[in-house]
Structure 1
Amino acid sequence: MVLDESSRKIIGLVIGRCEEKAEALRDIFQEVEKRKNEANDRPAHDIFLAMSSILKTLHTSPYLDRKNRNPDRVLGTCEWFVNHQLFRKWQESSSSSMLWVSADPGCGKSVLARHLVDSELRTTTSRTTCYFFFKDDIDDQRSAKSALCCILHQLFTQREILFSSEIVKRLETREIHFTDSFDELWEVLIMASQDKNAGEIVYILDAFDECEDQEHSMLAQALCKLYRTEKAFNLKFLIISQPHGTIRRGFQPLDMPGLPLVHLSGESEVETDKIAREIDIYIRARVQSIRDRLTLSLEDEQLLLQGLLRTPNRTYLWVYLTMDLVQDDIGINKLGIRKAVSSLPPTVDHAYEGILNKSHNPEEAKKLLHVVVGAARPLALAEMAVALALQPDHQSYEDLDPKADKRFREYVRDLCGLFITIIDSKIYLLHQTAREFLVQDDPSKGVHPEKARLGEARPKSNDDELRWKSSLQPRESHRILCQICVWHLLFTEFETHSLDENEILSQYLDHVFLHYSAKNWAYHSRASSIEDDDAITDSLLAICDARTRRCLTWFRIYWADTKADFPQNFTILMIASYFGLERVVELLLKRDDVEVNSLNGTYRRSALSWASENRFNGVISIWKGTDVDVGDRYGRTPPSYAAWNGHMATTKRLVKAKARVDSVDEIGRTPISYALCRARAGSVEVISRELLTSAVGKGHKTIVERLPEKAANMEAAGDDGQTVLWLAAESGHEAVVRLLLEKGANIEASAYYGRTVLWSAAESGHEVVVRLLLEKGANIEARGDDGRTALWSAAESGHEAVVRLLITNHSTVRVVCL
């Protein structure tokens, strides 16, 4: 069919329009598909952002750097362990198990741990290895929670598939920050380890004995619970520690046949011999290094080697310290070598003594060591330079003359030798045993006068007298640090600058040591009891004065780490209460210009509320006539804050001060619900007992009704044996007595001297309660330890109506006169 020109034009126009419509539809479909893909991608993108945020939060400690603080092993060492049949059996096992390795100090445990992580147990396609090196001189390295955070960070970065959306959602939706909850972190660790894609997982924990005591116990309990339960996954823990009894007792529930705990004891005679032979390998390597550096002859090398090998009970630490002493004493001839090896320190303690005795300024060395052992965190070289330079008459940075970093590094080494180590420009003690050598175990013993006068000329210490040993008292270390911080915060620079928030927070970048002073002055004050010194008390009052620029400067820097809104309109009493400064609070409460119950602007909280949250019972006990039930902007009272933070003793103190236990905040929570929600196992019952006792004593029936059965322990006895029913009867609260009886309380429970519930109500003259108890079958003839009955008690107390009621309910009345 042939179309004419007109028809072709019409058809062409129609086709063109169809093509335009098709193009438009195609664009619409593409846009729909694009939006659909974007919709699908958005959750994934959100999850990625959440995962990144969580991983950043989990990175609480530079664990890789901390591992690498420990040197690599010398070839031929660590073999006693890696070739041991117990280790090999544990390593080759396909089931979950725990290996505990113990050895004495200075035996190379941390070097072994690094070797295991880097070599023997390194991560492979089928095995994931994570680790944490505890260290008691660094805050984030002595925390079990920090350890779990770092292990999870390693696990999720090495095996991203284990970082499930379920775990992401769980961590995102926690009411409290998950890094502050051991239980939450542990549950997530187990969740990830049980994943079908997990494969073999190895967790290595070095220096377990340097973990903070309470968290160390929590971790030991969690491990025991894990391995006493059958688990279908391959999760292995390798724990390395000193052979402390507390650790042994913590793992005791697993130390029986059939349970997956293996203890490889490096302190046993067989293993000690193997370690000793490997230490000899280390000695030979160190001597060879000295020979090469000092160009000793082969004969001189052998003379030095034989002298070192003659010393009994050698450890890696002893060799390290001794070689440093020897290098300084070696001459270029045999006489010098003989002299050096003839006076080798017999023990690590004597090596420490020898190192510190070489200090060119013992008093300055002692001050530096006080700062190192007492500091809340390791100080940088620049911070330590300021700390040592600070004097009480300094008023600004212009008065200081600190040494430059390079010069100060050399100065520190001259002061303390190998006793101090500098890593990433931060100052640490060389080893845990260095702290044990210096710091006095029992501060009540005081410091020997000879040890206190380290700066005086004296003869060289002999083997029987170690003047540096136990020469530092912890309280004195904190006193020195408190003084340094307070002198620093009184600098004129902090009273004259802008109060702009951003400028204040940048101050610690411009002013060395300000961040440390702002964060830790109050901690050192509490730990040193320095407030008893009237001179320092005046300075503490000055830096607590919330009306000054100085106070706002350091307090904003301190508050920045809380990640909460800054509390406006804080008062001097709030500052002192928040930081637990008892002496300062005591002085302030005597002043007429201090309003005890005033509230700050941001949170509408009182000084008592802040002290309760931070568990400062000494401060709380000072207050008299304070409103213990004043609520903040959320309706939360001081006992709510104490209970929410798990402070049992504080909660009890507030309850005894007549605080209400039924005050409800804006989300419907009470102190009781917070206590039950937050308290650790074992504490819940005690807190609930105190709260229940208070509710019963005041007749709050609704509180008793709300308590779960576990919390409302009817038979829990107070200090004098009174049950809650006994207390309710004594107080005459008939409704509460009836409720407790309905809940199953023991009507015949007796308290001090065998006095029963009925006796309690009768003595107090509560006729209605006595009638109720009789109706419920209370034994009217029950006698106390002294033979007295409820009738005798009522008669003695002059309660005529109760006496008539008891006589009416008893056919035979016999009064025993005593």
Structure 2
Amino acid sequence: MADVGTIVGIISLGIQVADGLVKYYTAYKDRESETAHTVKRLTHLLGILEVLRKNLVDRSFQPDETSLLETIKSSVGDCEDLIKELEKETEKFTQSASGSVTAAVRVTGRRLAYPFRQSTLQKLDEDIAEICANLTLALQVLQQQDIGSVQDEIQDTKALLELVRADQISTEIKNWLNAPDASINYNDACKKKYPGTGLWFIKSPQFSTWLQTANSFLWLKGFAGCGKSVLSSTIIQHTLRHRRSNPAIGIAFFYFTFNDDAKQDTSAMLRALILQLAPQLQLHTTTTTTNNKDALLPRLHQNYRGGTPPDPALLDTLHQLITRFDDVYIILDALDESPRHKHREDLLQALAEMRSWPGPELHLLVTSRDEQDIREELVLEEEEVVVLKGGKVDADIAAFVAGHLKDNRRLRKWERFHGRIEEALTEGAKGVFRWVECQFSALEACPGSKTRLDALLGSLPRTLDKTYERMLYNIEEESVDDARRILTLLCTAKRPLKVEELIDGIAVELGDNAKFNEDSRLMNQDDIRHICPGFIEVDLNNEDRGPTVRIAHYSVQEYLESDRIVASGTARFSVRRKEANTEVASICLIYLMDEALCKACMTETWVFGYDAKYPLAAYAASSWADHYHEGDPLDPQLHRLALALFHDDENALASWANIYKWAGYKRDGLGDRILTPLYLAARLGLDPVVRVLADEATSSPTRPRKYYFESALITAATFGHASTVALLLTHSSAAINHLGFEGTALHLAARHGHLAVVDTLLAHGADIEARDYRGKSALYDAAAGGKDEVVRLLLERGAEIEPAGTYDTPLECAAAGGREAVVAMLLDRGLDPNRGRYARPLEVAREHPAVVRLLLDRGADVDLGTPTRPLALACSGGAVGVVAVLLERGADVEKAGGWAGLMERAVGNSDPKVVDLLLEHGADAKGEEGCHVTPLEAAAGLWNATAVMRRLLDAGARVNIGKEMTPLEKAAKKSSLPTARLLLERRADPNLGIQMTPLEAAADEMSESMMTLLINHGADVNKGLQMTPLEVLVQKEVIPFRLVELLVQMGADVNKGFKINPSEVALRHGYNLEGIVVIPGEIEVESIEGAGTLGEKKEMVIVIGPKAANSS
């Protein structure tokens, strides 16, 4: 057997070399931009080496594992020469540095050429990549030895869910982002997996290459029911195992879901991936700063607090997250379940953008059926495609069949025939897992006789379609109507329905005597399963919403909606989208207008129990209008029901709005208050209903209530219903320029980017220069929101480009929002890039490098400000990209406040990147001239700006120099332990202050941990500039005697003070400091969390009753 010690020796040498190289390169702060990639790869290598060594040392190899150990030895042995080559390189580097790493750091401005040459770094990267490839193989062999027997362990799933759980993200941000939970789908797929499922792929070179190759991509394609989702769960699980070799790896996944609208579009995918990756940054081991990590999601939230961020903003955030890891593995399952004519084109474009991102970090794997649009958009090389068919998939099916026969209690009656059943199902499956699942349903229902079994196995349907056709034939005749209703509701619902919701949907009767019939309610989920065996699944693990029901497989819904079922003998079960939506909309309206429901929900107390008594109410209230639009609004029954809702003396209308509000849906004009039936119909774009209500209003002898048409027009414009807007204008053209709370209809349409509505309003004579309550025209709203097409249309129709009477201009609005295309459009119209009212465009664009570059290209003066210069504003805002552009374009540092002023601004924003940039361009880290505080002093006054402070200290800032306070004094005043600890590590004088000594300041703040830290580093307990520390404490309104005792214990003189005698003051408060007696002896002083122990033996302290004997 190979010698484990030899292998471990090679690995230990590798750890030593890699660690030395990391320390060498990270010591040169001024060369980070050149060495960042190499340092990242070295850190990755170091992680693999350490995990591999731990696995080898901790494991006891058995005699029968000789071949395993030889394989590992071979892989590690292939690295030995490369590791020794790296060792030689390290020796060259240290020779050229002429001393230690610390000495190298102190050589200001020195250029050590060889280690930083591009050729040197490239050779290092090549060697590191080769070592990583070999070691990763060794680690996989070691970790996957028992992979087949443990792949479904609960521990793996638990570890994955803990990794992607967003506990570190604030509840406010999580609720705002509203990301769908992909772990539900992952758990469902894991339940269908048996030991060994998918191992053929895990052990394949394609999977290994995908894990190890930079910027890799794989498409797993296969026909419906071949097990893609189950295989995805296996891939996710084993990618997690790969991650254990490097905590700087991120993992995220998403399952597109045909029966859940919330899991079908690009936005849902991006929001889920972001929420999974963001908390993983907490475990990142590279040198990314805390400030930059934490800023991503809060910044996105701040920019789009009022709603869901657009896809480009989500993509940008995801990209930034990915670049903060060494590698990120993203698995996307079932692209084909994103509706082709609704969301898929945008999804494929987003994937194309993700694949175009520079950098090696992203590894993307997707699964789907082989559909033309997906195939044409992906444009892949042959090695990037894996076709799921053939013997390897058949082996997975065989394992599935064997496992299911063994585990399913309802199949125990066939135990004598398991071998025969296994052979028949495996042979008949032809690579389709779903076909096997359906045959199991038939076996469960089959009476337990050999004759019946022979008949069943002898007549197995050849295809999935034939299987579904037979299953529909077998539905009992008396259950056909309920089964058809169940399948229609589940195929059409906007999300998985709860069991109780589905039961109430079945109990609604359509036709001339339409009503909700409580007597028709089924008893429970078992009744649903009995009516539709094999077609549905009940998910019992939905903690938030209770058990939900869904179509069992995408192929079921596809068959029910296809033309193939129409040509079969089961056409009555066919689900046609338009007719099905019409039916579901009718069901929802009938339910909402149930008399008992309407009466009950008009009482405020009913809110606490409505969902239990009427479980379908919330879904019906929130979704009926969506089904109405996707159905046939002119269907006689649906049209009659919709009119009835709006004509029912506002009782049904009010109850619907109440349910909508109580169900917690987003406030968007419904539920806040009842306005008018016309307003609500216009808000939803219900044109047939709007037409009738508008006709009634204009023909009625009674004058409509004030603003009846105006409010309806504005809400229709706000929500983009162009046809509704046109319809309303034919009834009341006078409403077109009505000024509402947020502007005219044109303002609202422009603000939300509804091009067709803007066009309709202008065609009907809307005033293009109408002003809102801020005095602004619609062009402002479109420009500020980046609505390019609306801006173009307004300009073509003659909108004034610089309207008078406002405090800013459309150009300023667009520049401030980073709307590059709009800025270009306005500049093309001849606007002066240097002219503004509130501020110049270059000043307000201070967070947007692309806009700044565009303005400069078009003639903006880089130094013109009112009064603050653009460069100064950019430094204050932490906009490193803008600072870089302005310096590149020759911004005058002196006009912007000088290097000292700029450094103060950058430090105040606690952004190390801007500080680094200023230092690179000549800023003085000392900053002792030209500013009222030094940069280090300013940083020390922030709560935790240690990253910035390290940059300043490494660049020569003097640790004891300040103007208002010394840096340590300021840190003590702010009670910032991390800051004080760093300063003391860099030899700050614990007794030096300007206004107070640091210990005096800490006593003033009554910070026990800060006082302990300072004393631990030599602070004099009797020294002060205004008062002694003890004197400070005894003058507090409530004396902190624990801190007093600490000072006395450490030698404070109870009778020494600048202004008062501490012992006398304490005595007046009933405490006798003289009673604190120090008895000779030795004891370790108690450690304060974060401050460390005092590090030496002090005299034992005994407090002899601190209360005075005669306190009166």
- TM-score of the pair, normalised by structure 2: 0.51
For 2:1107, the equivalent position in structure 1 comes to none
Structure 1 residues 199 and 546: alpha-carbon distance in aligned structure 2, compared to 1, 3 A threshold: farther
For 1:764, the equivalent position in structure 2 comes to none
CA contact (8 A) 1:596 1:626 kept: no
Equivalent residue letter for 1:345: P
Match of 1:243 among 343, 363, 370: 370
CA contact (8 A) 1:439 1:472 kept: yes
Q: Percent identity over the alignment?
A: 20
For 1:563, the equivalent position in structure 2 comes to 667
Instruction: Tell me the SS of whatever aligns to 2:308.
Output: helix
Tell me whether 105-114 or 524-533 shows the greater mean CA deviation. Answer: 524-533
1:536 Cα deviation (Å)? 4.5
Instruction: Tell me the SS of whatever aligns to 2:588.
Output: helix
Instruction: Tell me the SS of whatever aligns to 1:238.
Output: strand
Structure 1 residues 175 and 301: alpha-carbon distance in aligned structure 2, compared to 1, 3 A threshold: closer
1:137 Cα deviation (Å)? 0.6
1:336 Cα deviation (Å)? 3.1
1:345 Cα deviation (Å)? 0.9
1:109 Cα deviation (Å)? 0.8
Matched, 1:618 2:737: no
Instruction: Tell me the SS of whatever aligns to 2:170.
Output: helix
Structure 1 residues 81 and 678: alpha-carbon distance in aligned structure 2, compared to 1, 3 A threshold: farther
Equivalent residue letter for 2:363: K
Instruction: Tell me the SS of whatever aligns to 2:262.
Output: helix
Distance 2:763 2:583 in 1: 37
Tell me whether 274-283 or 414-423 shows the greater mean CA deviation. Answer: 274-283
Matched, 1:554 2:554: no
Equivalent residue letter for 1:114: S
CA contact (8 A) 2:473 2:570 kept: no
For 1:166, the equivalent position in structure 2 comes to 295
For 1:639, the equivalent position in structure 2 comes to 746
Match of 1:190 among 312, 316, 319: 319
For 2:207, the equivalent position in structure 1 comes to 87
For 2:681, the equivalent position in structure 1 comes to 576
Match of 2:420 among 303, 310, 329: 303
Distance 2:792 2:486 in 1: 48
Matched, 1:234 2:361: yes
Instruction: Tell me the SS of whatever aligns to 2:524.
Output: helix
1:192 Cα deviation (Å)? 1.9
For 2:328, the equivalent position in structure 1 comes to 201
Structure 1 residues 512 and 394: alpha-carbon distance in aligned structure 2, compared to 1, 3 A threshold: farther
Distance 1:661 1:506 in 2: 50
Matched, 1:78 2:185: no
Distance 1:170 1:586 in 2: 44
For 1:313, the equivalent position in structure 2 comes to 430
Equivalent residue letter for 2:772: D
Match of 1:511 among 604, 614, 619: 614
Structure 1 residues 116 and 628: alpha-carbon distance in aligned structure 2, compared to 1, 3 A threshold: farther
For 1:589, the equivalent position in structure 2 comes to 694
Equivalent residue letter for 1:225: E
Runs of 5+ unmatched residues, structure 1: 1-47, 452-464, 715-742, 744-818
Distance 2:826 2:515 in 1: 57
CA contact (8 A) 2:411 2:443 kept: no
Structure 1 residues 330 and 79: alpha-carbon distance in aligned structure 2, compared to 1, 3 A threshold: farther
1:347 Cα deviation (Å)? 0.7
Q: Where do 1:417-428 residues align within 5 Å? A: 417-424=533-540, 425-428=547-550
Runs of 5+ unmatched residues, structure 2: 1-166, 285-291, 541-546, 812-821, 830-857, 859-1112
For 2:33, the equivalent position in structure 1 comes to none
CA contact (8 A) 2:742 2:748 kept: no
Instruction: Tell me the SS of whatever aligns to 1:99.
Output: strand
1:515 Cα deviation (Å)? 0.8
Distance 1:514 1:564 in 2: 19
1:222 Cα deviation (Å)? 3.3
For 2:386, the equivalent position in structure 1 comes to 265
Structure 1 residues 226 and 359: alpha-carbon distance in aligned structure 2, compared to 1, 3 A threshold: closer
CA contact (8 A) 1:489 1:550 kept: yes
CA contact (8 A) 2:710 2:736 kept: no
Q: Number of matched residues?
A: 621
Equivalent residue letter for 1:615: G
Structure 1 residues 677 and 467: alpha-carbon distance in aligned structure 2, compared to 1, 3 A threshold: farther
Structure 1 residues 568 and 281: alpha-carbon distance in aligned structure 2, compared to 1, 3 A threshold: closer
Instruction: Tell me the SS of whatever aligns to 1:561.
Output: coil
Distance 1:518 1:240 in 2: 36
CA contact (8 A) 1:128 1:158 kept: yes
Distance 2:197 2:597 in 1: 55
Instruction: Tell me the SS of whatever aligns to 2:367.
Output: strand
For 1:114, the equivalent position in structure 2 comes to 233
CA contact (8 A) 2:266 2:350 kept: no
Q: Where do 1:717-732 residues align within 5 Å? A: none
Distance 1:644 1:441 in 2: 43
1:346 Cα deviation (Å)? 0.6
Q: Where do 1:434-473 residues align within 5 Å? A: 434-440=556-562, 465-468=568-571, 471-473=574-576
1:700 Cα deviation (Å)? 8.9
For 1:413, the equivalent position in structure 2 comes to 529
1:648 Cα deviation (Å)? 2.7
Instruction: Tell me the SS of whatever aligns to 1:173.
Output: helix
CA deviations over 1:206-237 (Å, ceiling 9, x no partner): 11222255544334333323433422x52222
Distance 1:506 1:288 in 2: 44
Matched, 1:477 2:580: yes
Match of 1:55 among 174, 186, 190: 174
1:474 Cα deviation (Å)? 1.4
Distance 1:264 1:485 in 2: 45
Distance 2:783 2:496 in 1: 37
CA contact (8 A) 1:58 1:179 kept: yes
Structure 1 residues 597 and 621: alpha-carbon distance in aligned structure 2, compared to 1, 3 A threshold: farther
Distance 1:470 1:386 in 2: 20
Instruction: Tell me the SS of whatever aligns to 1:344.
Output: coil
Which protein, 1 or 2, shows the higher relative CO under an 8 Å CA cutoff with sep ≥ 6? 1
CA deviations over 1:555-587 (Å, ceiling 9, x no partner): 133244123685545111111111222111111
Instruction: Tell me the SS of whatever aligns to 1:589.
Output: helix
Distance 2:718 2:563 in 1: 31
Equivalent residue letter for 1:415: I
CA contact (8 A) 2:685 2:724 kept: yes
Q: Could you say what the CA RMSD is over the residues aligned between the two structures, in angstroms? A: 3.6
For 1:543, the equivalent position in structure 2 comes to 645
Instruction: Tell me the SS of whatever aligns to 1:137.
Output: coil
CA contact (8 A) 2:711 2:740 kept: no
CA contact (8 A) 2:678 2:712 kept: yes
- TM-score of the pair, normalised by structure 1: 0.68
Equivalent residue letter for 1:423: D
Distance 1:605 1:164 in 2: 47
CA contact (8 A) 1:353 1:468 kept: no
Equivalent residue letter for 2:684: F
CA contact (8 A) 1:419 1:430 kept: yes
For 1:391, the equivalent position in structure 2 comes to 509
1:498 Cα deviation (Å)? 7.0
CA deviations over 1:215-262 (Å, ceiling 9, x no partner): 44334333323433422x52222222222221223223xx46xxxx96
Distance 1:201 1:389 in 2: 49
Instruction: Tell me the SS of whatever aligns to 2:657.
Output: helix
1:607 Cα deviation (Å)? 0.7
Equivalent residue letter for 2:384: H
CA contact (8 A) 1:102 1:242 kept: yes
Instruction: Tell me the SS of whatever aligns to 1:472.
Output: coil
CA deviations over 1:11-63 (Å, ceiling 9, x no partner): xxxxxxxxxxxxxxxxxxxxxxxxxxxxxxxxxxxxx9983421343453232
CA contact (8 A) 2:509 2:515 kept: no
CA contact (8 A) 2:601 2:658 kept: no
Distance 2:802 2:297 in 1: 42
Structure 1 residues 705 and 297: alpha-carbon distance in aligned structure 2, compared to 1, 3 A threshold: closer
Instruction: Tell me the SS of whatever aligns to 2:496.
Output: coil
Distance 2:580 2:238 in 1: 41
Distance 2:573 2:786 in 1: 38
Distance 2:282 2:431 in 1: 45
